[in-house]
Structure 1
């Protein structure tokens, strides 16, 4: 559910999130589809009580925090990819 919401809530592509998490795009795509269906069913169900302003503010804050964490993870993944390339380059330059 959390992986699906990384796509749904942040607007990032399934491919980006799948790469970050190390899961297949098709698998994550199914999770996203299933979560959207679940959300649709939940929205169609009668709502007993709306969120209060405090709850809405907290939800917005938490969504911003998740998006921020996703950006940090993406930056870290890019750093790791760069370091792997750099280490491969320098390893290839070593005399045999």
Structure 2
């Protein structure tokens, strides 16, 4: 017997914002609002928590609490870091290759 394939639903930023607004404006629990909207409660809980962090509802950010803007910047910097490491490794290999060509041949020639 094969497992049914799960399809991951994609939500636009506007859909997420509207779901969060419904939950917060009507003071509904995430579970109640998620049931009403037909989405998984864990998704809505995550979106609401991030919206509250972005609004500063939790006071000064605690460790691990990044705003959406900070998360985007962190992702960009991590990508840039990967690319720079890849470039550095490439140039290191190229330098070793060209240095090897410059060495005199070994042995009794």
- With the shorter chain as reference, the TM-score category is 0.3 to 0.5
Asked which structure has the greater CA Rg, the reply is 2
**Structure 1-normalised TM-score?**
0.45
- Structure with bigger helix share is 1
Q: Which has the higher contact order (CA 8 A, sep 6+)?
A: 1
